[in-house]
Amino acid sequence: MIELRTPTEIEQMRPAGRFVADVLVRLAEAADVGVNLLELDALAHEMIRGRGAESCYIDYHPSFGAMPFGKVLCTSVNDAVLHGLPHDYRLRDGDLLSLDFAASVDGWVSDSAISLVVGTPDQQDLDLIDTASRALDAGIAAAQAGGRIGDISAAIAAVAHGEGLSINTDFGGHGVGRTMHGDPHVPNNGRAGRGYPLKPGLVIAIEPWFLQTTDKLYTDADGWTLRSGDGSRGAHMEHTIAITPDGPVVLTARD
């Protein structure tokens, strides 16, 4: 069921958005050569406890997950692009790291993701991250009251296709509210003018993610981490936004 939020409820969602943004900024600062993915997860867990927030991930067990996630943070490295299960791995120079984090504050959820290169960057990786970032910006700009979900999808796809990237639509954006994942689905490819109407009060996560040379995924043996079918690297960017009469409001904006 798709739920529309009142202006008061959107204001109540802002603390969750700020908290999620703050955690991702802190994690990005902490990510360095030699840092263990489990250390990043522990840092996010510490920040959750300090804020009195609740993790959206630790007990999460959808049909595509082999078991409850068990961690509070997704850490996807190199050819992993989504749902990366933190494990005993120390980051290496040149790793492409995607961090995806969602939490509930006072009963309201926000969800956001960033990608970065640890240590010495490769230009191909920086270009892929830039493409995902520009696609996110384009999707947000298209999220205007009176439009359609397809407007967001088409805007994201235009950026990706402009860089010669193919797009997987199995996983994409989604509704956000009292829970992390709700309706409507927001695919990263689609036709403008189609799909659910963008009405004031709709709160969604927009999340373009791309792989360098494929749109095929497979699930790692850990039962969660999604990796590229050909070993190429991936990047993932995401914000939670609210549709308002005055334009989209980015609830997870990072300072």
Compute mean pLDDT per 10 residues along the chain, 255 residues long, and list them: 96 98 98 98 98 96 92 98 98 98 98 98 97 98 98 98 97 97 97 97 98 97 97 98 98 94
H or E element that contains 206 = strand 203-206
**Residues in Cβ contact with 37 at an 8 Å cutoff, skipping those fewer than 6 apart:** 75, 77, 84, 86, 87, 88, 89, 90, 91
Structural domains for the chain:
7-250 (3.90.230.10)
pTM of the model: 0.97
pLDDT attached to residue 55: 97
pLDDT attached to residue 255: 79
